[in-house]
Amino acid sequence: MQVQAIKSRVIQANDDLFAVIDQAINADSNLKGHLPENSVLAISSKIISYCQGRLVKKEANSKEQKHALVRKEAELYTDPNSSKFDLMLSIKNSTLIVNAGIDESNASLNGEGCFVLWPEKIQETLNAVWKYLRNKHGLKNFGVITTDSRSFPLRWGVVGTAIASCGFKSLNNHIGQKDIFGREMVMEQVNVAEALGVAATFEMGEVAEQTPFVLVSDLKKVQFLDHEPSKEELENSKIDLKDDLYAPLLIGVDWQKGNG
């Protein structure tokens, strides 16, 4: 597997997403304007948010403003007073994440500080990007993912996550297969999208790298598809709180319902 960061210009609010991607691919000396077969392009969610204009200028009381935005954006959230860091755990787009993914780093609106919200209609947007790039570059085996950073329980630091994917099976199902000792696999599935999201986000960086795109290529364990994910395929990749392995923790949380 090869992981290559792709540099871009500074993105402005309401830029054209397709044009931004094309410019970055054309400017990369390794790609020379063309994406290869058997590859997945990772796109930072922040870039999509910028192009969608999902930026909110900070007000004087930015802390309370951020809390209000989380309540509006999240599907479920916790009270900020329950955290020693004044953060709100939340669930949005079937993802457990802090503050509904709202970010303040590398965020500027007309030269002033702002909040960057998660993109709207993430899956639909990613489907459109996949279709556009697949057709433009004449690709058969090609995928895209939208990534962001998130914290990991009981570990300092952040890792990547894939908020959405298109063009390949997000799960490799090994249930029923046998291990090297002949034992049958009962629950084992590999989350391909998440694995690619971790690698891509690490290569993107977290500070001033200005590489919001990453091409992951030479993929041998990715099963590419020739269609957008169906409703059934999307639902099969999600888990209800009560069915999650971490249900004893998740269902014990005093969740409050948001407007997301």
Can you give the pLDDT at residue 12? 93
Q: What is d(CA 70, CA 260) in angstroms, rounded to the nearest whole number?
A: 9
pLDDT digits (tens, 9 = 90+) for 191-213: 999 999 999 999 999 898 999 99
Token pair belonging to 148:
């962001």
Ordered domains of the chain (ranges, CATH): 1-53+119-229 (3.30.1330.100), 55-118+244-260 (no CATH)
| Of 113, 105, 112, residue with least CA distance to 207 | 105
| Of 101, 116, 133, residue with least CA distance to 215 | 133
DSSP 117: P
DSSP 255: -
Can you give the pLDDT at residue 260? 86
Q: What is d(CA 54, CA 66) in angstroms, rounded to the nearest whole number?
A: 14
Contact status, residue 113 vs residue 104, Cβ threshold 8 Å: yes
* Residue 100 buriedness (CB in 10 A; 0-12 / 13-18 / 19+): buried
Can you give the pLDDT at residue 170? 94
Can you give the pLDDT at residue 50? 97
Contact status, residue 144 vs residue 166, Cβ threshold 8 Å: yes
| Of 43, 210, 214, residue with least CA distance to 129 | 43
Contact status, residue 239 vs residue 59, Cβ threshold 8 Å: no
What value does the mean pLDDT of the chain take?
A: 95
Block residue for tokens 């830029």: 15
Can you give the pLDDT at residue 78? 97
Could you report the average pLDDT of every consecutive run of 10 residues in the chain (260 residues)? 95 96 96 95 97 95 94 97 94 94 91 94 97 97 97 93 96 91 91 96 93 96 95 91 93 93
Q: What is d(CA 124, CA 142) in angstroms, rounded to the nearest whole number?
A: 17
Within 137-191, residue ranges assigned H as helices are: none
